Structures are given as C-alpha cells and as structure tokens.
Structure 1
Amino acid sequence: METSAKPSNNNIGRKIGRIREMRGIKQEALAAELGVSQQTVSRMEQSETIEDEVLDKVAKVLGVPADAIKNFSEDAVINIIASTVNNHDQAASVFFYPTFNPIDKLMELVEENKKLYERLLMAEKEKNELLKRK
C-alpha cells in the first residue's frame, strides 16, 4: 500500500489558506473579520471540510464566491499565471482599466473635503461665539 505525499485536492481548509495568502490577508485579519480567534482560523485551514454557513462567511471576507473556494485548484492558478506572463520584456506590466472616471472621483473627494472643511469652520465659529459669551 502506497501513500501519497501530495495533499488532497478536496481539503477545503487548505484552499482557504492558499486563497487568503494570495489575497495578502493574514490569519489575524481574517479572524477579526469573522469575529473568531486566530487559532480558530488556523484550525479551520487545517480542516478537510467546513460547514457551508462558515464557508459563505469566509468567502465574503476573502472577496470570492464560495464556489471559487470549493473549486480552487492551485495548478489552474499556476497555469493561468504562466499563460498570461509576457516573457519578452523584463518589466511586469500592470493594466488598470477603471469602470469609472478617476478624475470625477478625485473631484468628488475634493468637494467632500471642502464640505468637511466648511463644517469644521462653522464649528470653530460657534465655539468662538460661545467663548465670547462667557
């Protein structure tokens, strides 16, 4: 009888751990979002199976569908990365195509900043008026 050293592809906990790592999320951060301890997350990542309700919560925190966790395959991820890498240049290319106009967003932030400044100014004026009355 021969045992395989390769971990089971159906180990849901290991899949959660790999996706968490790929997303750059620490166990502590995931635990805080789920309202559990880091040790609970560690045990979860070592589990073969996880209740669907817990899986849904984890998936929401990780920003992926629960089915993506269930069907996660590290080999598939490696194949996708390998097929999209352009080896003709030494620089990594990152393309960002926002679905919004970044200038419009910037202007929204500027307007919001103005409103906050005006509210702060009004609060200071009210405070000064109160101090003058005393």
Structure 2
Amino acid sequence: MTEKTIHEGRNVKRIREILGIKQDALAMELGLSQQAVSALEQKEKIDEKILEDVAKVLKVPSDAIKNLTDEAATNFFNTFNDNSGFNYNCTFNPLEKYIEAMEENKKLYERLLETEREKVALLEKMLNK
C-alpha cells in the first residue's frame, strides 16, 4: 500500500475556493500579500503556525487542511448530494415562483380596484337621489 502525500497548500486553495474566498481576501485576513498566499498554496508542507492561522480564518480545523486527500474531498463534498434527508437541490424554479406571486398580487389589486369602483358607483347613486 502506497502512502499518499498530502499537499497542504493545494488543500488550502481547495477549501478557500469552495468557501468562495478570494486570495486577496484571505491575504488581508492573514496580514499577508496576495502573492504570499499564492506562494503558500504552492507549498506541499506549510509551517504549523501559519497553518493554524489559515485554518482559523477559513473556519476549519487545521486537521482538515493537513489530512484532506483528493478522495476525501470528493467524498465529503459529494455528501451534499446524498439522500440523507437534506435537500440542497432546489426542486422549483425561483423565477417561476416570483412570477406566480406577482400574478397573485395583480389579481388581488384588480379585485381591490373593482370593489372601489363598486363603492364609487354606489356613492354616486346615493348622491343622485
């Protein structure tokens, strides 16, 4: 059995991208330059103190960065698509729901307008008597 090498820098990049964090934003939080973060992501092994700081900023355990293999990452993020009772896939089109709500508002407005017209007609009829 061959031991797989963990590339900590690649793991930092992978986690950062999954979280939607740009290099410059991570750099700013760490007090580094964007180029320093880029260089950090190229390193196979990251200094323990820096790794702890990065983990804290990314809000993940440092062990996640140290032990994340390609296979583990794939398995972890595929769990969001399993049938464990959590539905992360939208089962309806949000735009269609918005249009339905707008149509319902339009119908309500038309009914309100009709009742106001009826009131005006009734008041005019009473005034003419």
Question: Structure 1: which 4+ aligned runs deviate by more than 4 Å?
Answer: none
Structure 2 contact 80–88 (Cα < 8 Å) conserved = no
Paired residue for 2:47?
51
RMSD (Å), alpha carbons = 2.2
Q: What's the offset of the Cα at 1:74?
A: 3.0
Paired residue for 2:101?
none
Taking the TM superposition and a 5 Å limit, the aligned residue runs for 1:69-80 are 69-80=65-76
User: TM-score scaled to structure 2, two decimals?
Assistant: 0.57
- Whose helix proportion is higher, 1 or 2? 2
Say if 1:84 and 1:37 are closer, same or farther in 2 by CA, change over 3 A.
Answer: closer
Larger Rg: 2
Percent identical across equivalent pairs? 49
> Which 5+ residue runs of structure 2 have no aligned equivalent?
91-129
> Which 5+ residue runs of structure 1 have no aligned equivalent?
1-7, 95-134
**SS class of match (2:37):** helix
Structure 2 contact 6–68 (Cα < 8 Å) conserved = no
Count of residue pairs the alignment pairs up: 84
Paired residue for 2:62?
66
Q: C-alpha separation between the residues in 2 aligned to 1:69 and 1:13?
A: 8
